[in-house]
């Protein structure tokens, strides 16, 4: 499948240009346009690197879902809703995707099938909600629920990231100070010690070597860093490495509890949202496992599906995994007994979000003094390495 930029003429004789994605060939594109009452004038294949995926924010997707649901609940046809949203969207990449979805819908495709080629933008959760809304006749509710879910998820991510702004700033400042010391201060003392014929101890010699690398071999650092990043990404793409890393993220000191809280909240909220609009429980568990993007959660989701097929209660199955807090298990058990599982899952996710906020604030309080001490130690060790030969020289003079 490929994407084609094309110019066509509609039934009124007006020419327009657009982009059609997920189409096999120009002939297939011509046939699709004929179904829409248009005539293809010319088309050319778009290179994959130019396809508009990476410039679309999830905030835009949430806003789109809210507006789409509101217009559809007011009685507007799906194609008219998409056309209006297409005209109102400022983001060119997103507008192109909405255009593609609208043209598939006008050609007779289901809404889920129209969104399917853009799964990376709209996520498995969104497509699952669309499918459930179409099947149950509750599309507007599904879209509004999707928008609420996306906003809650984005708010939680924003709060979590905000907690790490200070550590990142401290790390950057520390790196800049160390780099300036190595480039401007260490060479001055190195030349001084060379003229004084002072033998450099190990720590000082290491600083001099680092200074030479930064001053004369700096051009080797970007390729080395890029190679290291690509190597690490390839390593973490391996399934065995990935699952061990995902498990470590939820068990490491300090960051582990926060990561676990955010991960469980996302899984529980996705699961609850999906079954609230009529998605079958087994399918909802599978989708929630994929949305979490964590190999440990994916394995748990597979086990949960088997337990549900065997007729075992969900709460009992969750209790077997230490990653789920007892509060979540209790909420699920109460929801199963009372027949209000979606509502109880939503409440559990809200409480987990509040816990994540508290953990992020607590983590910041712990990190601030620790990072200040680390920065002071690093700079102090560098200065000690710089002045160590001077102390030795003074001792010999005595």
Provide the pLDDT for residue 51: 45
100-124 pLDDT, tens digit each: 888 888 877 888 888 888 888 888 8
- Integer angstrom CA distances of residue 381 from 121, 375, 386: 47, 10, 9
Going by C-beta distance under 8 Å and a sequence separation of 6 or more, which residues neighbour residue 204?
A: 193, 385, 386, 388, 389
Spacing of C-alpha 19 from chain mean position: 27
Q: Are 197 and 172 in contact (CB under 8 A)?
A: no
CA distance 363 to 308: 37
* pLDDT at residue 396, as a whole number: 66
pLDDT bracket for residue 52 (50, 70, 90): very low
Mean pLDDT of 266-279: 87
Least reliable range by pLDDT among 51-60, 105-114, 146-155, 179-188: 51-60
Name the phi and psi angles at 342, rounded to 5: -60, -40
User: Which pLDDT value is given to residue 331?
Assistant: 93
- pLDDT value at position 53? 44
Instruction: Please report, to the nearest 10 degrees, the dihedral formed by the alpha carbons of residues 345, 350, 354, 357 taken in order.
Output: 100
Rounded mean pLDDT, 233-260: 85
Of 40-54, 223-237, 345-359, where does mean pLDDT reach its minimum? 40-54
pLDDT of res. 397: 62
Cross-strand partners of 17? 7
Of all residues in the chain, what percent carry a pLDDT higher than 70?
Answer: 95
Average model confidence (pLDDT) across the chain: 84
Separation between Cα atoms, residue 344 and residue 352, nearest integer Å? 12
Distances (CA, A) of 65 to 19, 82, 371: 22, 11, 41
Contacts of 129 (CB under 8 A, 6+ apart): 142, 143, 145, 146, 273, 274, 277, 279
* 3-class DSSP assignment, residue 334: helix
Tokens of 332: 């699920």
pLDDT of residue 50: 39
pLDDT at 186: 87
Interatomic CA distance for residues 124 and 31, integer angstroms: 29
Residue 49 has pLDDT above 50, yes or no: no
Percent above pLDDT 90 for the chain: 8
Mean pLDDT, range 255-278, rounded to an integer:
88
**Of residues 271 and 237, more confidently modeled:** 271
Q: For the range 71-79, what are the long-range contacts, defined as Cβ-Cβ under 8 Å and sequence gap of 24 or more?
A: 72/139, 72/140, 72/143, 73/140, 78/105, 78/111, 79/105, 79/106
Most confident of 36-40, 66-70, 107-111, 250-254: 66-70
pLDDT, tens digit (0-9, with 9 covering 90-100), for 350-382: 899 889 888 888 887 887 788 888 888 888 888
User: CA 66 → CA 60, 110, 246, distances in Å?
Assistant: 10, 20, 33
CB 335 within 8 A of CB 343: yes
Looking at residue 387, its pLDDT comes to 83
Cα–Cα distance for residue pair 86/93, rounded to 1 Å: 11
Q: pLDDT-derived band of residue 126, with 50, 70 and 90 as boundaries?
A: confident
Assess whether pLDDT exceeds 50 at residue 54.
no
Task: State the pLDDT confidence band at 22, using cuts at 50, 70 and 90.
Answer: low
Residue range 305-360, pLDDT digits in tens: 998 898 888 888 888 888 899 999 999 999 989 889 999 999 999 899 889 888 88
Compute how many other C-beta atoms are within 10 angstroms of the C-beta atom of residue 87: 9
pLDDT, residue 348, reads 92
Tokens 């060119």 correspond to what residue? 92
Give pLDDT tens digits for 135-145: 878 888 888 88
Distance, CA of 321 to CA of 331 (rounded, Å): 15
- Where is average pLDDT lowest: 34-43, 85-94, 226-235? 34-43
Q: Among candidates 76, 79, 89, 68, which has minimal Cα distance to 133?
A: 68
Q: What is the per-residue pLDDT for 47?
A: 61
Render 201-254 in DSSP notation, one character per residue.
Answer: PHHHHHHHHHHHHHHHSGGGHHHHHHHHHHHHHHHHHSHHHHHHHHHHHTTSTT
Q: Which of 88, 77, 109, 86 is nearest to 19 (CA)?
A: 86
Q: Give the pLDDT of residue 357.
A: 84
Chain centre distance of CA 368: 26
Q: Is 39 helix (H, G, I), strand (E, B) or coil?
A: strand
Rg of the Cα atoms in the chain:
29
């Amino acid at each position: 499948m490929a994407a084609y930029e094309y110019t066509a003429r509609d039934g009124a004789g007006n020419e327009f240009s657009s982009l059609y994605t997920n189409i096999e060939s120009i002939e297939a594109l011509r046939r699709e346009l004929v179904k829409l009452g248009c005539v293809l004038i010319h088309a050319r294949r778009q290179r994959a690197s130019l396809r508009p995926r990476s410039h679309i924010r999830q905030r835009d997707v949430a806003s789109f879902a809210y507006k789409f649901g509101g217009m559809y609940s007011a009685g507007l046809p799906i194609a008219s809703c998409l056309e209006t949203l297409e005209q109102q969207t400022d983001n060119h990449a997103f507008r192109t995707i909405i255009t593609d979805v609208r043209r598939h819908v006008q050609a007779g495709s289901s809404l889920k099938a129209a969104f399917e080629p853009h799964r990376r933008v709209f996520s498995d959760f969104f497509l699952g909600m669309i499918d459930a809304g179409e099947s149950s006749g509750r599309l507007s509710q599904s879209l509004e629920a999707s928008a609420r879910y996306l906003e809650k998820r984005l708010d939680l991510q924003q709060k979590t990231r905000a907690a790490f702004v200070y550590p990142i700033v401290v790390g950057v400042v520390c790196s800049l100070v160390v780099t300036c010391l190595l480039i401007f201060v260490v060479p001055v003392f190195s030349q001084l010690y060379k003229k004084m014929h002072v033998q450099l101890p190990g720590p000082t010699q290491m600083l001099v070597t680092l200074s030479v690398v930064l001053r004369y071999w700096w051009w080797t650092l970007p390729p080395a860093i890029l190679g290291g990043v690509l190597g690490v990404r390839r390593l973490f793409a391996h399934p065995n490495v990935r699952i061990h890393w995902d498990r470590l993220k939820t068990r490491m000191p300090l960051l582990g509890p926060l990561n676990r809280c955010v991960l469980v909240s996302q899984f529980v909220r996705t699961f609850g949202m999906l079954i609230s609009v009529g998605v079958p429980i087994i399918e909802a568990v599978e989708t929630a496992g994929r949305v979490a993007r964590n190999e440990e959660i994916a394995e748990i989701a597979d086990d949960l599906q088997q337990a549900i097929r065997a007729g075992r209660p969900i709460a009992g199955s969750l209790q077997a995994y230490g990653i789920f807090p007892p509060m979540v298990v209790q909420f699920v058990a109460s929801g199963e007994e009372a027949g209000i599982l979606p509502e109880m899952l939503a409440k559990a996710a809200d409480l987990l979000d509040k816990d994540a906020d508290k953990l992020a604030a607590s983590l910041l309080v712990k990190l601030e003094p620790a990072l200040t001490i680390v920065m002071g130690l690093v700079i102090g060790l560098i200065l000690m390495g710089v002045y160590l030969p001077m102390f030795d020289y003074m001792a010999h003079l005595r």
